[in-house]
Amino acid sequence: MRILVIGSSNTDMVVKANHLPVPGETILGGKFIMNAGGKGANQAVAAARLGGIVTFIAKTGNDIFGNQALQMFEKEGINTSYMLKDPNQPSGVALITVDKNGENCIVVAPGANGTLSIGDIEKFTDAIRETNIILLQLETPVDTVEYIAKLGFGLGKKVVLNPAPAQFLNEKLLQALYLITPNQTEAEMLSGIKITTPGNEHIDGLKIDGLASVERAAAALHAKGVQNIVITLGSSGAYVFSAEYKGLVPGRKVTPVDTTAAGDTFSGALVVALSEGKTIKEAVEFANLAASISVTRMGAQSSIPFRKELY
């Protein structure tokens, strides 16, 4: 089955530091890395490396960052026939700080990503007709995301949304989704329900103290029209709410180095598994495994594993 990823492409500029700076604080960092990134691009690369047949639609600037990104996508075996260049905007960039525990803070300047329009997508409806699964995020204009989701839904495609960065979404968009993959913060915003989990996120503790609120949040999203919900919970794994399975799918315990692309690796892996006919629970197990490998490495796309590394 074919996978179509539509979203952002950025260049990530990463600095490793002892801790994340607070407002007004200047700190001396360590290693600097410049990597290809952007949630859409990360997810397209993850899907391709993990065995998917992937087409990617994004808009870059007509600059060195955009040209390098295009060459990289082609090396990954991604179909770039529908890539666009904006002559008036630079390619997107992200400034990322990673602390000694692998946690990060990110500021994104979207550049050309912010000009991916409905008119652009209208030129590429054949790409949507030819695919089976569409994977979207929220680093491009939300009205464009809504248009794609509704078009895909109308054509009988499985539309998967990773709702990041977090923002409120209307129910017409939610009703067009086959599956949504929020993290805890995003699930709280979209559902209006506070999710309570223990600070150490032990699985047993989560079952006792947190799963009730996680399930309520998932049920609220289902009531808004989303068919299937997967709420990611960091090292604890992911909670699945679907007709075929409800419950926690535990994560794999590792020592994190950098969590920058963990969610994107998860999303890319998830759609690959679904494209291969796996159940949602099996797909989440596959995605958890891929994401657990990515957090043990620095960078965004540089941290994404290949399929042969999963077994």
Distance CA 244, CA 97 (A): 40
- Is residue 98 within 8 A of residue 124, CB to CB? The reply is no
Q: How many angstroms separate the Cα of 272 from the Cα of each of 54, 211, 235?
A: 9, 27, 21
- Is residue 284 within 8 A of residue 271, CB to CB? The reply is no
- Is residue 90 reached through a cis peptide bond, with omega within 30 degrees of 0 on the bond before it? no
264 is catalytic: yes
- Is residue 37 within 8 A of residue 65, CB to CB? The reply is no
CB atoms near residue 238 (< 10 Å):
25
Distance CA 5, CA 156 (A): 16
Looking at 86, 120, 258, 264, which residue is catalytic?
264
Beta-strand relationship, 32-37 and 179-180: unpaired
Which stretch of DSSP H or E encloses residue 128? helix 125-129
One-letter identity of residue 58 = A
Backbone dihedral region for residue 207 (phi beyond 0: left; psi -120 to 50: alpha; all else: beta): alpha
- Is residue 163 within 8 A of residue 190, CB to CB? The reply is yes
By annotation, the residues acting in catalysis are 264
